[in-house]
Amino acid sequence: MNNIQVMLDKFLIEAEKLCDIKFAYLFGSYARKENNKNSDIDIAIMPKYSLGKLEDTLLRGNLIEIGKSIFKRECDVVFLNIDAPVLKYEIIKDGIVIKDHEERISFESLSIREYFDYKYFIKYYDDQLLEDIRNMEV
């Protein structure tokens, strides 16, 4: 993790030139220590401010390019203020905090509650989909 930690620190320095970051996580295969030579780097960021859909999309693209140049491999960046409860839960559950802020604990608590509230509907939808497939109604 030492070499990756140096690169993560460099990524955060470069990323903060483009946006203010409250906290961030490394998640995915690198965080779970299941990475291989083809694994990408997954980073989740909570920006201090949301810029709007177009600006967020452009910023995400710029951050991905910065990540690719630093990590020398594919990189994905997600914004925690606009992602789905399931992804936020997975990031919190398996991710490694790479930049911290006092608001992270409140964010995690709210995100976990949202996930468990939402989980019922996910299961219901999945069960209905499986039933439709069994009945060939899709």
Q: Locate the domains of the chain by residue range.
A: 3-137
The predicted-structure confidence for 95-129, as pLDDT tens digits, reads as follows: 999 999 999 999 999 999 999 998 888 888 888 99
Q: Which of 42, 36, 26 is closest to 74 using CA atoms?
A: 42
* Number of neighbouring beta carbons within 10 Å of residue 40: 17
- From residue 25, alpha-carbon distances to 29, 99, 116, 117 in Å are 12, 7, 21, 23
Give residue 31's pLDDT: 97
Q: pLDDT tens across 22-43, in order?
A: 999 999 999 999 999 999 999 9
Answer yes or no: is pLDDT of 1 > 60.
no
pLDDT, averaged across the chain: 93
Output the CATH code of domain 3-137. Answer: 3.30.460.10
25, 107 contact by CB (below 8 A): no
